[in-house]
Amino acid sequence: MKVAILGAGAWGTALGVLLASKGIPTALLARRREHAEALRAQRENKDYLPGVALPAYLYPTHDPEEALSGAEFAVVALPSKALDTLKDLPRAPWYLSATKGLFFREGALLTPSQWVAALTGRPVAALSGPNHAEEVARFLPTASVVAGPEALARRAQEVFHSPTFRVYTSADLRGVELCGGLKNVLALAAGMVDGLRLGDNAKAALLTRGLREMVRFGTAQGGEEATFYGLAGLGDLLATAYSLHSRNRGAGERLVRGEALERLEDRGVVEGLYAVKALMAWRQRAGVELPIAEAVYRVAYEGLDPLKALSELMSREPKAEG
Ligand SMILES: NC(=O)C1=CN([C@@H]2O[C@H](COP(=O)(O)OP(=O)(O)OC[C@H]3O[C@@H](n4cnc5c(N)ncnc54)[C@H](O)[C@@H]3O)[C@@H](O)[C@H]2O)C=CC1
Ligand SMILES: O=C(CO)COP(=O)(O)O
């Protein structure tokens, strides 16, 4: 068997390292010819995942035909803003989305697997959890969830499960993917708390109320409550909001310290910046309350002073905790 990974950024490369180290022939599709050539020559992804050796079974290419030909399935490890490129690629029999994002399209809030299914017309499952590429690729232990149609989730579990990467299955595809989109927005907020040096109490309070916001919103959008307390929810929220690896947390920190919005993706994609836009567009339609996400949006896109955003959150009507 063979697997194709679409996207040679940090996450696509880490997943490729994981599979190839199990002896699974894995193609890694890079967007640019020079990048694929550099990966093959150096056996390292210096641009996106430096310091990790690429195993022999991992084959970087920029040729979509070569990558997808004979693949049992394709792993989508593209940033959400690049998913549309899938419609120009040869089709895989089915897809495993490893992208964490949210889309507002034609009046609906869509998750990556929904958008991949719309673009390709093929069945799609999703992989999500507390999984920083830098650690997964160095075989530090973690766990993850594959959600979607049972046969696909079971197969992906079998293929990815390893002594350092424990994979669970879930039938709650919507919930698992909402977790991945929402936690990035909260990680931006957590980074702002770090950047303002508001302290450990503030960060814990923010994340606890943020988790409540995830649960309230996510269950109203069709996710199951337990999912939000699982690996893709609380697990990934903690991993992202406390990690020095996290581009989302780091972007929040840099933003409140005065760095320009346009520079925040210098170190890799910051999905929360796109997800929060989709959430705000959706909220206007659905009339739901998302106070923390709204504060993040206003700080990032409307220049609201982050301390003013905080004081607005603190001065909301006092109420019971639920
Ligand atoms: N880095 C991580 O630890 C994890 C990332 N993810 C998710 O995986 C997805 C990809 O993230 P990373 O690999 O970390 O991003 P990255 O920033 O490391 O790399 C992005 C990759 O996408 C390519 N790309 C950018 N724009 C493109 C376009 N228009 N068309 C085609 N390719 C394009 C870049 O050339 C690069 O190879 C995101 O949705 C992220 O949330 C999920 C779990 C862990
Ligand atoms: O999703 C991730 C870890 O699970 C990666 O988070 P960042 O995109 O913030 O780096």
Query: According to the annotation, is 297 in a ligand binding site?
Result: no
Q: Residue 212 sits in a domain of what CATH number? A: 1.10.1040.10
- Is residue 319 situated within a structural domain? no
- What is the pLDDT, as a whole number, of residue 284? 81
The dihedral built from the CA positions of residue 180, 186, 188 and 190, taken in this order, carries a sign that is negative
Determine the residue of 5, 11, 244 to mutate for testing ligand 1's pocket, defined as the one with the most ligand atoms within 8 A of the Cβ atom.
11
Are 64 and 144 part of one and the same domain?
yes
Range of the domain at 299: 174-314
Residue 187 CB less than 6 A away from ligand 2: yes
Question: Where does a domain end: 172, 206, 222?
Answer: 172
The number of folded domains in the chain is 2
Question: Where does a domain end: 172, 196, 214?
Answer: 172
Q: Which ligand is nearest to the CA of 79?
A: 1
- The answer, yes or no, to whether residue 169 has pLDDT greater than 90, is yes
Are 185 and 278 part of one and the same domain?
yes
Question: Mind telling me the catalytic residues?
Answer: 183
Are 132 and 183 part of one and the same domain?
no
Confidence of residue 81 (pLDDT cuts 50, 70, 90): very high
Smallest CA separation from ligand 2 atom 8, residue: 247
Q: Residue 103 sits in a domain of what CATH number? A: 3.40.50.720
Residue 236 CB less than 6 A away from ligand 2: yes
Taking only the tens place, the pLDDT of each residue in 174-186 is: 999 999 999 999 9
Q: Is 140 left (phi over 0), alpha (psi -120 to 50) or beta?
A: beta
Residue 133 CB less than 6 A away from ligand 2: no
Are 35 and 152 part of one and the same domain?
yes
Taking only the tens place, the pLDDT of each residue in 219-267 is: 999 999 999 999 999 999 999 999 999 999 999 999 999 999 999 999 8
Query: According to the annotation, is 247 in a ligand binding site?
Result: yes
Are 139 and 114 part of one and the same domain?
yes
* Cβ pair 60, 26 in contact under 8 A: no
Query: According to the annotation, is 248 in a ligand binding site?
Result: yes
Are 35 and 58 part of one and the same domain?
yes
Are 46 and 147 part of one and the same domain?
yes
Task: Give 294's Cβ-side CA count (13 Å radius).
Answer: 13
The closest alpha carbon to 241, from 211, 266, 276, belongs to 211
